[in-house]
Amino acid sequence: MDVADFWTKSWTSDDRVAVRQMLAPDAEIEWNLDAPVDDEELVQVLHRIAVFADTVTVVGQSRADDGAALVYDLEAPFGTARMVEFLTIADGRITEVRQVYDVTATDQFFPGLYAN
Amino acid sequence: MSLPEVHLVAGTVGEALRLAPVALAMREQGRLAAVPVATGADPDAVGQVLTAFGITPRITLPSGDGHTETMRRFDDLWAVRTPAAVIVRDGLAPALAAFWRRVPLLTVDAGRRSGDFGSASVLESQRRLLAQVTTVHLAATPLAAMNLLDERVIAGDTLLTGGTAQDAAQLFATRTLAAPSRGRRTIVLGMPAERADAIGPALRYLGGHYPDLEVVRAADFAPGLELATLLAQAYLVVTDDEDLVEEALAACCPVLMIGFAARHAEALHAGSARLVEPDPAAISSEAADLLEHRVRRDAMALGGNPYGDGLAAYRVAQATAALLGHGQFPDPMPAQPTAGVAR
């Protein structure tokens, strides 16, 4: 199992310890949610998704030499929001996470997901 | 010194029709090197439309199975040939690949939505995601720009340029006007075959009253110049295809739209399109009314095209250049006068 697969498995199964361990200490985090982000805020949001979503499915993934792009369907009780995640990987750790949420669907189906 | 390269990614014939005028405008302005990229399931058809404008696709990249495979192909392309900017219309996969490589992305016809806020439909979801990775949103109408603001897009990142379908129609105009007349009143059906099979006979039945009537399917005409000529000569278009609505209005042909009021509220407001039920009897009744009273049909045509003023491609080209540090952003498309209202 490569780093990207292990990352996905860790956060979707709400293994916050593994998620923290996989993030490099100076990892750059970026997202389009209306809230500031750092590695701890990222871990918290992924935890809330893992807990609240009925299922999280990887509907597509694309690999590059130094990273991966993953497309998730986050299925909540009242609907599904899509999220795309771009990972940069170096020395077995994740050095950059860029997440793009369908903010309209996320706000609608995952209320209170992040503090804004 | 070589000009900054901008990749214009067209994945369908509709996208090619709308991006070709932008490529020509960039060529004319001389500040950017436009590189048309033909992709999608049928890049040859895309290339055919580009060729009708005298443009040869510089890169042909067939899409893969699903977004992620297509994204990987674009990533591979841009790893070795990184553009200064990318322009798309609805292409989510190339948009994500550009975002991944931090290449600035511009979206034409941005902000088109079904009006069902928060809809989870595949196309709506794709368009919302596309808006989230776009650097500059080039909207065709004020309503489209408002849709983007509803999705928390920053107002300063949005520019009202108009749609480039009007520009495409004007570029074709010299050839469509010179084409031999069909000699009949033509109703064009722009819809899937099964729906056309249901509606076509009802309209052809009107031929008993109007011997000069012919009913044809848009799909039977080659995209590009041939379809543009048909639309320029058509009496009426009946369609459920949102792209064809804009193309028909750009050719000054009135439209009976089946279904989607929210997607073309501007055309309904302008009067150049009418909404009809997807019922053969209702459609043939509306068509008969317009066949019987030419003045009503012409009044609809005079409602004009609210989706562009024929200068959108220049604005898109100028906005792209401005984003890359060449000149200033253009003024937005001026508001169009409303028929019958003194200004």
Domain boundaries, chain A: 3-109
Q: How far apart are CA B291 and CA B286, in angstroms?
A: 9
* Pick from A34, A98, A105: CB nearest B125: A105
Q: How far apart are CA B1 and CA B43, in angstroms?
A: 31
Average pLDDT, chain B: 90
Q: How far apart are CA B269 and CA A23, in angstroms?
A: 53
Per-residue tokens: B323: 């984003």
* Pick from B69, B125, B132: CB nearest A32: B132
User: Which stretches within chain B are classed as H helix?
Assistant: 13-29, 43-52, 66-80, 92-100, 122-133, 142-150, 165-178, 193-205, 225-233, 242-250, 265-270, 280-292, 294-302, 312-323
Closest to B4 (Cα-Cα) out of B315, B313, B320 = B320
Chain B residues 241-260 with a CB less than 8 Å from chain A: none
pLDDT at B220: 93
Q: Is the pLDDT of residue B131 over 90?
A: yes
Confidence of residue B343 (pLDDT cuts 50, 70, 90): very low
Task: Give me the CATH topology for the region A3-109.
Answer: Nuclear Transport Factor 2; Chain: A, (3.10.450)
Question: pLDDT digit string (tens) for A75-115?
Answer: 999 889 999 999 999 999 999 999 999 998 999 899 988 87
Question: pLDDT digit string (tens) for B26-42?
Answer: 999 999 999 999 999 99
Half-sphere exposure of B184 (CA within 13 A, CB side): 12
* Interface contact flag, B96 A63, Cβ < 8 Å: no
For the domain B168-302, what is the CATH superfamily, name and number? Glycogen Phosphorylase B; (3.40.50.2000)
Most B CBs within 10 A among A85, A102, A103, A109, hence the mutation to make, goes to A102
- CB contacts, 8 Å: A108 with chain B: 118
* Interface contact flag, B128 A105, Cβ < 8 Å: yes
* Interface contact flag, B125 A101, Cβ < 8 Å: no
Question: pLDDT digit string (tens) for B54-88?
Answer: 998 789 998 888 788 899 999 999 999 999 999 99
Q: Give this complex's ipTM.
A: 0.93
CATH 3.40.50.300 fits B5-164+309-323, yes or no: no
Q: Report the gap between the CA of A77 and the closest CA in chain B (Å).
A: 13
What is the value of pTM for the model shown?
0.92
Give burial (CB, 10 Å; 0-12/13-18/19+) of B319: buried
Mean per-residue pLDDT, B196-207 = 85
pLDDT at B197: 87
Give SS3 for A110.
Answer: coil
Question: pLDDT digit string (tens) for B253-309?
Answer: 999 998 766 678 888 888 999 999 888 899 999 999 999 999 999 999 998 899 999
- CB contacts, 8 Å: A61 with chain B: 68
* Interface contact flag, B118 A102, Cβ < 8 Å: no
pLDDT at B338: 57
The β-bridge relationship of strands B158-160 and B136-139 is parallel
Question: pLDDT digit string (tens) for A50-84?
Answer: 999 999 999 989 988 889 999 999 999 988 999 99
Q: Is the pLDDT of residue A34 over 90?
A: no
Domain boundaries, chain B: 5-164+309-323, 168-302
Q: Of the given ranges (A81-85, B7-11, B49-53, B68-72), which has the lowest mean pLDDT?
A: B68-72
* Interface contact flag, A64 B75, Cβ < 8 Å: yes
Q: How far apart are CA B317 and CA A61, in angstroms?
A: 33
Chain A residues 6-35 with a CB less than 8 Å from chain B: 32, 34
Half-sphere exposure of B106 (CA within 13 A, CB side): 28
Closest to B95 (Cα-Cα) out of B56, B59, B126, B50 = B126
B132 touches chain A (CB under 8 A): yes
Mean per-residue pLDDT, B201-210 = 84
DSSP state of B290: H
Confidence of residue B5 (pLDDT cuts 50, 70, 90): very high
pLDDT at B115: 66
pLDDT at B57: 79
* Interface contact flag, A100 B67, Cβ < 8 Å: no
Name the residue in chain A with its Cα closest to that of B122: A82
pLDDT at B341: 52
- CB contacts, 8 Å: A100 with chain B: 96, 99, 129, 132-133
Most B CBs within 10 A among A63, A70, A84, A110, hence the mutation to make, goes to A84
Q: Which residue has the higher pLDDT, B74 or B122?
A: B74
Percent of chain B having pLDDT more than 90?
71
